[in-house]
Amino acid sequence: MEEKFAISIYVCNKPGVLVRIAQTFARRGYNVDSLVVSPAHNTNFSRITVVVQGVPSSYDQILRQLNKLVDVVHAASHPSADIVDREMALFKVRAKPDQRAEIFQIVEVFRAKTVDITDQSLVIETTGDSLKIDALEKLLEPMGLVEMVRSGKLIMKRGLEET
């Protein structure tokens, strides 16, 4: 049975690193659900967070293969109890003036915010865990959800130890 899990990878900031990492997942038959790359505190390095779906039996092998790649400083997975994880999403909703009050109530309940208003639409921004974003999407869908863009999952280890 396939499962989803997140892996944090600390890499040298060089061209071609992302391709080699993606090939590692593809060779093992893992589908990448989410991929976030950002500069680290030290600009010579980058942080990559990958959420993949696959068979858990080859999970340890992928971590070993990632850690063998030349430009990978370290790759690790973290139990959900040991991390803080967040995503950001933008939702564009078709909204006539008479519908807006109901949409604004939903936005308030989810602690989201409206970042753009036109005569016919609203753009809503939210951050939170995947379940929160999924729930907001489900509520906005019948209201006229036009499109959604998600950032992908960011994770950070709790405490003083680096992710």
The DSSP 8-state label assigned to residue 60 in this structure reads H
Same domain, 64 and 104: no
Domain end (from 14, 47, 77):
77
Q: Give the CATH number for residue 16.
A: 3.30.70.260
Instruction: Confirm if 52 and 5 have CB atoms less than 8 A apart.
Output: yes
Distance CA 26, CA 127 (A): 29
**Is residue 134 one of the residues assigned to a domain?**
yes
**Is residue 15 one of the residues assigned to a domain?**
yes
Q: What is the pLDDT of residue 113?
A: 96
Instruction: Confirm if 88 and 36 have CB atoms less than 8 A apart.
Output: no
**Is residue 142 one of the residues assigned to a domain?**
yes
Q: What is the pLDDT of residue 74?
A: 94
Residue 117: its H or E element: strand 113-117
Q: What is the pLDDT of residue 35?
A: 92
**Is residue 163 one of the residues assigned to a domain?**
no
The whole-chain average pLDDT of the chain stands at 90
Distance CA 91, CA 83 (A): 26
pTM of the model: 0.81
Q: What is the pLDDT of residue 13?
A: 94
**Is residue 72 one of the residues assigned to a domain?**
yes
Q: What is the pLDDT of residue 147?
A: 97
Q: What is the pLDDT of residue 80?
A: 75
**Is residue 159 one of the residues assigned to a domain?**
no
Q: What is the pLDDT of residue 161?
A: 81
Structural domain harbouring 100: 86-153
Return the closest-CA partner of residue 87 out of 125, 52, 135, 130. 130
**Ranges of residues in the chain whose predicted pLDDT is under 50:** none
- The per-residue pLDDT for range 89-104, each reduced to its tens digit, is 999 999 988 889 999 9
Q: What is the pLDDT of residue 27?
A: 86
Count of domains observed in the chain: 2
